[in-house]
Chain A
Amino acid sequence: MAEPMRIRATMAGDVADVKVLRNHPMETGLRKDAKTGQLVPAHFIQDVTATINGAAVLNADFGTGISKNPYLGFKVKGPKKGDKVVVNWVDNKGDKNSAEAVIG
């Protein structure tokens, strides 16, 4: 499941605009497989954390209502160009992924 994640961080004035996109099925556990008629087990991202230069800026909990291939955008005041943004995700099966970007 370690599919690539896309992350971009740009400064707009004194605010860093961070955008993250990850490939993930985000299965709710309520959808039936069209072929087998069986419920597709729930598989969704639950916990997302973001840090800038090691300091936490965002901790997000997701439910099953977040769309497939989740997009997340947030803004942080204070960082400078060249600072490092790291975003980590954990899903309900324990799969993890992480991506980092330098603010430009």
Chain B
Amino acid sequence: MNALRRNVLKGAAGAGTVAIAVAAGLLKPTQAMAAWNKAAFEAKNVGDAMKGLGVAGPADSKEIAIKMPDIAENGSVVPVEVTSSIAGTTGIAIFAEKNGTPLVGSYTLSGGAQGYIATRIKVAQTSFIRAVVNAGGKSYTAAKEVKVTVGGCGG
């Protein structure tokens, strides 16, 4: 009984410490959530963003299809579908090359998930939209240009 009680107390104290750290601003919620790749998402160019994701020199691939409009009247909502036919696709990342922070989304697939992601993204100006696919420890890429008439990142 005593051991159990001790563990419960210990657990409560542990949780309390974290809460206090958050309250004191020592730990911002973003930092507490280590899963979010801050370096990659806050990178200002595609090269740095890829580096942040651990991608180096992805090979061009025709097996990645990017489906989206050629011209987007409203850059704040551009539908994008990425389909990878590469066997063993485990990750897809989407970049809007001329956005202030080019990395838009990074997706990790597992447990039977297919190489397919549909989303809607903001595109600041006419730019290539690049998809990077991870499969079997290698990375592959493809890009498609979208013309934007009204940018999606202004106010």
Contact = CB atoms under 8 A, between A and B. Distances in A.
A52 B36 contact: no
B113 A61 contact: no
Interface residues of B, number: 41
**Listed residue (A31, A60, A65) with the most chain B CB atoms within 10 angstroms of its CB:** A65
Contact of A58 (B99, B101, B103, B110): B110
A97 interface: no
Contact of B112 (A33, A47, A63, A78): A78
A74 B122 contact: no
Interface string A12-28: 00010001000000001
Interface stretch (B9-17, B27-35, B55-63, B135-143): B27-35
B98 to A, nearest CB: 11
B119 interface: yes
Q: Which range holds the interface residue count of chain A?
A: 35 or more
Contact of B120 (A30, A46, A52, A71): A71
10 contacts: A30-B100, A31-B155, A32-B155, A46-B30, A60-B106, A63-B104, A64-B122, A67-B122, A77-B113, A90-B33
Interface of B: 29-30, 33, 35-37, 41, 76-79, 81, 96, 99-114, 116-123, 152-155
